Amino acid sequence: MDKADKHATSKLGTLLVENRMAKILELVLVFVLATSFILLFLEKNGENLLRNQFVLWLANVFMLLWVWAGLKLRGEDCGHLGLYFKIPTAKEALINVGLSLVVFVLAMLGFVIGSIIMANITGIPEPSDMSAYDYLKDNIGLLLLSLLGIYIVSSFGEEVVYRGFLITRITELVGNTKWGRVIAVLISAVIFGFAHYGWGPMGIVQTFFMGLALGICYLWLKRKLWILILAHAYMDTILILQLYFSGS
Identify the weakest region by mean pLDDT among 46-60, 142-156, 157-171, 230-244: 46-60
Q: 27 near 170, Cβ under 8 Å?
A: yes
Nearest-CA neighbor of 248 among 138, 147, 146?
A: 138
For the stretch 65-74, pLDDT in tens is: 999 999 999 9
For residue 4, the model assigns a pLDDT of 45
**Average pLDDT of 18-44?**
90
Percent of the chain scoring above 70 in pLDDT? 89
Would you give the DSSP letter of residue 127? Answer: P
Cα 41 off chain centre by: 21
Residue 82 lies in a domain: no
77-81, 136-140, 221-225: least confident range: 136-140
Its domain, for residue 62, covers 1-76
Residue 2 pLDDT level (bands cut at 50, 70, 90): very low
On whether both 20 and 139 belong to a single domain, the answer is: no
Asked whether residue 205 falls in the same domain as residue 232, the answer is: yes
Higher pLDDT, 157 or 242: 157
Tens digits of per-residue pLDDT, 106-156?
999 999 999 999 888 876 655 555 666 666 677 788 788 888 888 998 999
In 3-state terms the chain splits into helix, strand, coil percentages (rounded to 5) of: 80, 0, 20
C-beta atoms surrounding 71 within 10 Å: 19
Averaged pLDDT score across all residues of the chain? 88
End position of a domain, from candidates 76, 103, 126: 76
Q: Are residue 57 and residue 92 in the same domain, yes or no?
A: no
Last residue within a domain, chosen from 53, 76, 99: 76
* Within a domain: 152: yes
Question: Among residues of the chain, what percentage have pLDDT more than 90?
Answer: 62
| Cβ atoms of 220 and 107 closer than 8 Å | no
Q: Are residues 60 and 174 in the same domain?
A: no
pLDDT above 50 (res 3): no
Q: Does residue 81 fall inside a structural domain?
A: no
Asked if residue 246 has pLDDT above 80, the reply is no
| List of residues 6+ apart from 163 with CB closer than 8 A | 188, 214, 215, 218, 225, 228
The answer to whether residues 227 and 204 belong to one domain is yes
246 & 194 share domain: yes
Angle, in degrees to the nearest 10, between helices 140-150 and 49-74: 20
166, 184 contact by CB (below 8 A): yes
- So what's the pLDDT on residue 5? 42
Question: Does 60 fall in a domain?
Answer: yes
Considering the domain boundaries, does residue 178 fall inside one?
yes
Residue 198 has pLDDT above 70, yes or no: yes
By the 8 A CB rule, do 192 and 167 touch?
A: no
